[in-house]
Amino acid sequence: MFVDSVVYCSNNMKNVTIIQRVLPHYRLPFFRKMHGNLRENDINMKLIYGQEYPGTVPQTVPLDEPWAFKVRNTYLKIPGIELVWQPCLKNIKGSDLIVIEQANRLVVNYLLLSGLAAKKSKIAFWGHGKNLQLANTNGMREPFKRFFVNKADWWFAYTEMSAKFVEERGFPRNKITIVNNSIDTVSLATACNDITDEDISRVKKEIGINSANVCVYCGGMYGEKKLHFLIESCLLLREMIPDFHMIFIGDGPLQQLISDACASHSWMHYVGPKYGNERVPYLKTAKAILMPGPVGLVVIDSFMACVPLITTHIPFHGPEIYYLENNKNGVITNYEVNAYASEVACYLRSPEKQDQLKKGCAESSRFYSMDNMVNNFTSGVTACLLLPD
């Protein structure tokens, strides 16, 4: 249900509002934990979110909680620019702190940062520090984003890499919280530990795999993910490893490309989108996650499942690429089909390297957890609220 206005009930607790353009499924556990954590610290939390542009990912999922409110986003597309209006000004009344995404297209950000709305509220950015998927950093969008970096009272940086971007643009380090972006690692780790050899055999039987040399792709299916590159690499891999099989999980605008490839090759298998712990049996069936394009939170899946991720050197990764240490808990190759396929083939032929990288994944899984992310975010909220007005 969409709402027009909600105000906080009057009490002595501080009030924090988090505004998100969309609410992906993987954020639900975080916001539920954050709400509970903040309540324990005498802080009210409200979440405001909208819906995605039709046909795009990630898609919003509803959150049925009394502190979560859905508004209807309006998208304005003109050549080279997309603007998004979120009708939430009435919803933010009484907020001591408003946390917004660092995104040029969000019109409400300019009203908040300029003081035209919520004049008495502190404003915090939550983001990457810069556009990591922008090919032309000499265009107008990135300088525009840099200009607004220092207009907030606080920064919630996705990773240490994000914090460095922000600090380099002159924002005080002591007002930056490194969140260490994550997903519901407790549930994921439990699901991974519960998987048996019988479960893996069942998955293989269901989709027609009779080999141990299995890899998986798990993510959105759109142009930036380099799916043409991945398919070419898989074709080469099949020549190098005759019993190689590939599983594809996900959906998106290029879903048909994957479906067609799988229809043409019996050793490629498309199983559709899988959410939450539905992914686990497929991840545990594989020896590696293959993602030559931008890497984001999938690296957490890799660590928790102890299934190493193999990607490439490209400038468009999400900030979570900071977690990936080459040849320690994953592999990063040159962005070239032959180099990528050869590296994956070497990995599949080497039980020693597989064991080495799995150990690295297990070590990393203990550091990049949902609980740590919630605690980091809560500490930042508390510190920001203590700033003088």
- Could you report the per-residue pLDDT of 169-209, keeping only the tens digit for each? 999 999 999 999 999 999 999 999 999 999 999 999 999 99
Residues 130-180: pLDDT tens digits? Answer: 765 544 444 445 565 667 888 999 999 999 999 999 999 999 999 999 999
Spatial CA neighbour of 381 closest among 204, 217, 175: 175
Q: Residue 136: what pLDDT?
A: 43
Residues 90 and 64 in one domain: yes
pLDDT of residue 389 exceeding 90: no
Determine what percent of the chain is predicted with pLDDT higher than 70: 93
Integer Cα distance of 117 and 205 in angstroms: 58
Integer Cα distance of 374 and 376 in angstroms: 5
Residue 4, domain member (yes or no):
no
Integer Cα distance of 63 and 33 in angstroms: 13
Residue 137 makes CB contacts below 8 A (sequence gap 6+) with: 130, 131
Residues 134 and 198 in one domain: no
Residues 194 and 141 in one domain: no
Q: What mean pLDDT, rounded, does the chain reach?
A: 92
The dihedrals phi and psi of 69, each to the nearest 5 degrees, come to -130, 130
Are the C-beta atoms of 153 and 123 separated by less than 8 Å? yes
Residues 312-335: pLDDT tens digits? Answer: 999 989 999 999 999 999 999 999
What's 101's domain CATH number?
Answer: 3.40.50.2000
Are the C-beta atoms of 6 and 46 separated by less than 8 Å? yes
Spatial CA neighbour of 246 closest among 254, 255, 232: 232
How many domains does the chain contain in total? 2
Q: Residue 141: what pLDDT?
A: 55
Residues 254-312: pLDDT tens digits? Answer: 999 999 999 999 999 999 999 889 999 999 999 999 999 999 999 999 999 999 999 99
Q: Residue 143: what pLDDT?
A: 63
Q: Residue 144: what pLDDT?
A: 59
The dihedrals phi and psi of 60, each to the nearest 5 degrees, come to -75, 140
Residues 213 and 286 in one domain: yes
pLDDT of residue 8 exceeding 80: no
Q: Strand pairing of 122-127 and 97-101?
A: parallel
Residue 8, domain member (yes or no):
no
Determine what percent of the chain is predicted with pLDDT higher than 90: 85
Q: Residue 9: what pLDDT?
A: 47
Using pLDDT thresholds of 50, 70 and 90, give the confidence band for residue 5.
Answer: very low
Spatial CA neighbour of 185 closest among 357, 377, 33: 33
Q: Residue 295: what pLDDT?
A: 96
Residue 71 makes CB contacts below 8 A (sequence gap 6+) with: 2, 3, 48, 49, 50, 86, 87, 88, 91
Residues 30 and 81 in one domain: yes
Domain range spanning residue 23? 14-182+370-385
